[in-house]
Amino acid sequence: MDQERLKCILSVLERYELTLKEKQFVEAVESYFNENAKITDQQESVLEGIYREKIWIRNAFISQNNLTTKGSSSKAA
């Protein structure tokens, strides 16, 4: 993973509420990257997984809100 991709993922994850374990992991990855200028394949895989999960939850929530809003407005009509 290059530095720009890592920064992008970390930036996005800052906007989400992470579990304690996720926060600890992200902090450990950041620290490891700062010391070694790279992260391991396993760290990359887990970090990408957390990122995808948070994005999926956000998209599912937005989709559900859109369905609820559309359903309410069509009932009112």
Mean pLDDT by 10 residues, the chain (77 residues): 92 93 96 96 97 90 67 52
Tally helices (H) and strands (E) across the chain.
3, 0
User: Cα–Cα distance between 17 and 20 in angstroms, integer?
Assistant: 9
Quote the tokens at residue 14. Answer: 């800052």
pLDDT at residue 4, as a whole number = 94
pLDDT at residue 40, as a whole number = 96
Tokens 């998209």, located at residue: 59
pLDDT at residue 15, as a whole number = 92
The total domain count for the chain is 1
pLDDT at residue 28, as a whole number = 97
Tokens 């992200």, located at residue: 26
pTM of this structure:
0.75
pLDDT at residue 63, as a whole number = 72
Residue span of the structural domain in which 40 resides: 3-76
